[in-house]
Chain A
Amino acid sequence: MLAEALALSGMLFVIGVIGVLTRRNAIIVFMSVELMLNAVNLSFVAFSKLYGATGQVFVIFVMTVAAAEAAVGLAIIISIFRHQETVNLKDINLLRG
């Protein structure tokens, strides 16, 4: 099952990359990042079946970081929306001098 799980993990990661590259809605880009993190979690769990439970500990850490990232990132998106009335990445150019 390890090979299949890793192939699945790779496919999900690539779909997440495609989502980040092709979407302009900042929220959907964030969700694509979450999908990539999930793909990594899947390979951690697949390896933990072979090499012991340490991989599952790392999955817990990844989930924590993902939760923190979602909270801060969405707060940033709300802040930008208040400023610019948009979440379209094409229109967000605050740092362009």
Chain B
Amino acid sequence: MGNEFLPLLYSFHFYLFGLISVAAAIAFVTRKSPVAAAMWLVVTMFALAALYVMMDAQFIGVMQVLVYAGAIMVVFLFVVMLLNLGHPSELSDIRGKWGRIIAGFLGLALLAEIMTLTRSPMELKLIVPAIPATVNSTGGIIGGVAGPLFREYLLAFELTSILLLVAIAGAVVLGRKRSAN
């Protein structure tokens, strides 16, 4: 029943979450308080997670919620708390009139450029041949991601662990209280 409504429902929710993400991003850029800005960014990330799920990337959607909204933003909020930001004197950090005008023009130019590029016809040799996205029959949702991750990109995956180790060491060294010097 109602199968003819499914594409319409899909489009409706796609546009809904897209609108939410853009509106929350604009609110994020314009909020003065760092805590409010972080909260709006979390809303953007949740809307993006919903979009990922709608585009058949359920695992990435879950990772988005867990890693971005759950871990990275909490670290940001922790730093805001540690530095005790949010005083009225700290709030007005938005640049002056000329900075805003230049940024606005730059943003509009970038957006126009992107829109023109997407509208213009692409050269034939640049178009990647469409491989039908095969739904992995054996591995399920996560298997489709884990297969390439642990086969073709195993070296990059292992290098990622070195990157994380370096980041941990760097964060500890940078965040350590200086001894008297």
Contact = CB atoms under 8 A, between A and B. Distances in A.
A21 B99 contact: yes
B125 interface: no
A36 B95 CA distance: 20
Interface string A28-70: 1011101100100110011011111110110111011111111
Nearest to B51: A42
A69 B72 CA distance: 10
Contact of A71 (B18, B29, B168): B168
Interface-central residue, A66, A69, A75, by most chain B CB under 10 Å: A75
Interface residues of B, number: 79
A8 to B, nearest CB: 5
Contacts, number: 217
A18 B178 CA distance: 35
Contact of B72 (A12, A54, A70): A70
Interface in B161-178: 163-164, 166-168, 170-172, 174-175, 177-178
A27 to B, nearest CB: 5
Contacts of A30: 76
Given A60-B145, A67-B71, A51 B171 contact: no
B82 to A, nearest CB: 7
Nearest to B80: A27
A48 B57 contact: yes
Contacts of B172: 75
B133 A53 contact: yes
B110 A19 contact: no
Contacts of A4: 14-15, 18
Interface in B58-77: 59-60, 63-64, 67-68, 71-72, 75-76
Closest 9 CB pairs of A and B: A68-B167, A75-B174, A10-B114, A21-B103, A75-B171, A24-B93, A25-B93, A53-B144, A75-B175
Interface of B: 14-15, 18, 21-22, 25-26, 28-29, 34, 37-38, 41, 44-45, 48, 51-52, 55-57, 59-60, 63-64, 67-68, 71-72, 75-76, 79-80, 82-83, 85, 90, 93-95, 99-100, 102-104, 106-107, 110-111, 114-115, 118, 128, 130-131, 133-134, 136, 144-145, 147-149, 152-153, 156, 160, 163-164, 166-168, 170-172, 174-175, 177-178
